[in-house]
Structure 1
Amino acid sequence: MNNLKTTQLHSIHVESGAKMVPFAGWEMPIQYSSIIQECNAVRNKAGIFDVSHMGRFEIFGKDASLALDKILSVDPNTIKNFQAKYNLICNKEGGIIDDCIVYKINETKFLLIPNAANADTVLKWIQDNTQKLNFKINIITSETSMIALQGPHATNILNMTIPNLSEIKRFRFLEHDFNSSKMLITRTGYTGEDGYEIIVDNNLSEELWKSFRKNGADEIGLGARDVLRLEASLPLHGNEITENTNPFAAKLGMFVKLDRENYLINSKLTSLKSTDQEKVLVGFEIQGRNIARSHNSVLDSENNIIGEVTSGSFSPTLNNSIGLAYVKNSFTDLNSEVKINIRSKNITAKIIKTPFYKRS
């Protein structure tokens, strides 16, 4: 694992016995105990994830809002101060370069969180398409840590660890002084559960992690995180969304705000929105022990290929096998049956409503 980057919390993961694996150029914990046990911990109480590998770009200056208006699928001018918004960054053909969260601190300062594997691509895309604008990008990925605290007990654990916090509503955030340093606490996540993501200076990250753990949060690896996000039908770049898939095929049109004069690909996405998509993203379930995997073929009743699986897993929460796939538009009816080729066997699957899991 030479030349892999490590987070500030790396030594804690090793001490906890985590299985470490390469991920997007980083050495990250894939699991501490078992993936099923870790999924159950997040669904039933709370878990903490090290997500410090994700990018963190401060975007600030006179034209910061204009720059993001050109790049993001959402209008930064309609985002309130201390509000977060999920968005897509698309190329000129409408393909998805990345999905991100943008945080508006004030009218001239934002924080953008790209995925680890796409951070450099996102940075270059912004720079290449905003060259004449007056703003700066400060990359704070290496000097800060990012911890996700997720699950039904997350709020209690957060308040035990950091007393006297004001209430934070969903997709809102606040800045907080913690041991003479600023931290940013957001009510966001990637698990389908209530929870928070906290960005803190590196010198405080170990203390915060240990405090969350002491107050009842289990340590959770990226393996469980992937299963949890699939149960919640949240897309993963490289699987459900790529530079060759557009927001409307991926059923992410609700995160695209069109009719914007400054948006670079307003015309292209307007055209794609009005066009029937050849294939669209659907959810499916399989009864029994078979598990579909990315790139498995989806077949019709006559064994013609009609699509491809993007993600699949056993769901500990639902106790069955679930997955997402792109299929031809004529095969998307709920409760209709298709076949999935798994290890050279055609296994029956049923198209079902997503998200598979939604917290009560």
Structure 2
Amino acid sequence: MTFTSLRDFSVFTNHEIPFPIIVAQGRAPGTVILNLNSTLFEINAYELGSWDPSLYAFTDLKYIGTNVTNGFPDENDKCIAGLDNTGYIFGTSSTLFNQGLLQLNTTGLPSVIQDLVADFLEGVSEDKNDIAEYYPNPFYKTEWAGVDSIVEDTSLYLVDGGEDKENIPLVPLIQPEREVDFIMAYDNSMDTLQGWPNGLSMVKTYERQFTSQSNHTAFPYVPDSETFLNLNLTAKPTFFGCYSFNLTGLMEEVGTDYVPPVIVYVANRPFTFESNTSTYQMSYENEEKLAMIENGFAVSTRKNLTLDAEYRACIGCAILQRSRERLGMPLGPQCQKCFDKYCWDGSLDSSDSHNINFTADGMTNGSDTTNASSGSCRLLFGKNSFVSTWGIIIGIFVVCMTGF
């Protein structure tokens, strides 16, 4: 079945009342680097916009094809619908080709190949083919925006929502208006040399609350990436923000009375399949697809509860924790046992960690070898070609993104 819009998708799956939210980053024309001060956009079934102070505005997704000024149609009573295409929106949050240019020097490719690829990618960037262009700009001349670059251009330029290293789209979920108590955060990032997560996305979301884009959101304390690895916080589900009384100082620092949700962090692990495939692997055999899904099930369920038969109860404790705290109810022995097992206790170990290794049950160990595949770098010679009076020039495309 094909869905032409996010609204259609949401209605079709309304039995479980899902609310899809896709994130993208605003990218100013002529730039390729994004950071935590970049404007983060969310696209849901009804709206496109941002909670960030740089914009702090939303528009009806159904009518994003309408020419507007400060939110009002340029032609009275004339609105254009039908541009909220699901494929284009999904593609918006996948436009990360400029990262190939930014990380080209880390690939280890011969210099002559790097030069050829750089020329190609620079041409793609200059032609704006590595961004999603929304024309007309639905926020043109809006009075709510805090920066001119968003509102002065007749087009809105968006790229992959994880280009600021926040691969887990947490920011829309921690907005105080949504009053979220609990989040399951699945991390499938390629952070390490072996292509596994190291908690960097959590770190970046934590750091973002202290930037100008915070908007008084709060996110629980998390350790640095080295601690995530050294203390095995990526080896099993880890709960963050378990006790709200430990977050009062953080809330005061960011200027909010909003208690951030409990975050259950679950990192990708090779329980049944080497699931650290490249972001740029464009096709999979059916056997690979099924194996990837099977491994995802194992990661989500602690190997179908064989590693912890009480894991379901522990998830239930995390879901109800904020409600329990608001009601002043005691934690109870079962939940106390769960929190003692899964909650991060604030310990740190920031020593360098170079090897990400696995035992049979998915835990890290101290050996010098790894069961994980070490190569996440691929160089493809694409089929695309460019015809000129001098003949055919083969376009070389790099999809080698070590560490992204």
Provide the TM-score with structure 1 as the length reference.
0.31
The structure carrying a bigger strand percent of its residues is 1
TM-score under structure 2 normalisation? Answer: 0.29
Q: Which has the higher Rg, Structure 1 or Structure 2?
A: 2
